[in-house]
Chains A and B, each alone.
Chain A
Amino acid sequence: MTQQQSVHSSGRLAGRWSPYIVGIGIGVLSWVVFVVVAAPLGITTSIGQIAGGVVSPIVGADTVAANAYWRTNAMKLDYGTLFLIGTFFGALASALVSRTFKFESIPSVWQERFGSSKTRRFIVAFIGGALAMYGARMAGGCTSGNGISQSLQLAVVGWTFLAVMFVSGMITAAIVYGGSRSTVSGEK
């Protein structure tokens, strides 16, 4: 556990709040959004909409307008998109206020396993982001929309998503990081 502790006491984790308190905070935020705007927390619907706007100059606005997905998920500066922008600025402000803002291209856990090639990290991050987004759209939501907003309502879709996502993630992590045995140097 010495490795763990050194990771936790490093600069990027300064200003940390108890994760339980943060979770309770997100739960209370859910009460507020359910009552005040009747719009549960969610992220990927808006990213899907933005993608239509991004690809429009390449494939043409007609192609986007005719697409069955974007027809009902057109890009617009709506509630979800502004929530996304708010999420970015909230994290930015928190990082600046707690003096933990730091440019990072290669996280330490990745570096210990795969070395310091930025290209390698960026390619895998890109593929990972693409898979996460594709899967989230097929499942109808991500960790926020399904994992929290649906699960807190005890919806079947939310708990199915959480269970399958965790098993899939653990198998992936075991393959990528070489099983449950630690590859982190210095750890038992």
Chain B
Amino acid sequence: MFPIKGEGALLLAIVFGFVFGWLLQRGKVTNYNVIVNQFRLKDFTVLKVMFPAIIVGGIGVLALTNMELAKWHVRDANMLGTIIGAAIFGIGMVLYGYCPGTGIAAIGTGSIHALVGAAGMIFGAILYAFSFEWVRANILSVGKLGKVTLPQIMHIPAWTLYGALIVIAIALFVWVEKRGR
């Protein structure tokens, strides 16, 4: 029965996207101030959304793969490309005030500057496509670790890592909530 492919999946794409956009808007991560203030450590909304998403999502997906209802979709760790790319991304996210997903959602909430930034995203993608061959040869080729996970390289069971993440998240959010951030 699953996974669904073809036209059924296309219809579901709109439904799942709709739910995702709805959740982002309700979480207020479609708001420039909320995103920028996370990086200024004044408002921890972004981490309050991301940590539960990672922990709840991860534990569920681990259980589902154990039951053979889902497969892993771990991507290659090209370390140099990931590090340089993430560094550029962090600069861009603060200047834009959104990440790509929340930017698209923010347009739906009426943010004109998110729309302008989306045009910038198209421009950035064009630049990437035209520099792709050089990037692939000189950056993506450095530090290729393959489809590795933290449990594999740390030799710690996944359940233990999820447990540690829960402890870290609770400690962080207790601290954050006490300070009203």
Give the B-binding residues of A (Cβ under 8 A): 1, 4-5, 7, 12-13, 15-17, 19-20, 22-41, 43-44, 47-48, 50-52, 54-55, 67-70, 73, 77-95, 98, 100-110, 121-122, 124-144, 146-157, 159-174, 176-177, 180, 182
Judge if B168 is at the interface, Cβ distance under 8 Å. Answer: no
- Are B95 and A128 touching (Cβ within 8 A)? yes
Interface-centre pick from A31, A55, A129, A154 (highest chain B CB count, 10 A) = A129
Chain B interface residue number, banded: 35 or more
Docked complex Cα distance between A141 and B75 (Å): 10
Which one, A22, A86, A151, contacts B54 given CB within 8 A? A151
- Are A91 and B106 touching (Cβ within 8 A)? yes
Interface-centre pick from A15, A28, A132 (highest chain B CB count, 10 A) = A132
- A58 to chain B minimum Cβ distance, whole angstroms, is 9
Q: Which of chain B's residues 47-95 have a Cβ closer than 8 Å to chain A?
A: 48-58, 60-61, 64, 69-79, 81-95
Docked complex Cα distance between A44 and B97 (Å): 16
Q: List 16 contacting pairs A-B, 8 Å CB cutoff, sorted by A.
A: A7-B33, A12-B109, A22-B23, A28-B56, A37-B16, A38-B71, A51-B129, A83-B16, A90-B19, A94-B22, A103-B110, A125-B120, A135-B87, A135-B89, A154-B161, A165-B90
Give the A-binding residues of B (Cβ under 8 A): 2-5, 9-10, 12-33, 36-43, 45, 48-58, 60-61, 64, 69-79, 81-114, 116-130, 132-133, 135-136, 139-140, 145, 147-151, 153, 158, 161-162, 173, 180-181
- Are A26 and B95 touching (Cβ within 8 A)? no
- Are B39 and A172 touching (Cβ within 8 A)? yes
Docked complex Cα distance between A87 and B24 (Å): 9
Which one, A32, A47, A89, contacts B18 given CB within 8 A? A89
Which one, A4, A15, A165, contacts B42 given CB within 8 A? A4
Which one, B49, B83, B92, contacts A134 given CB within 8 A? B92
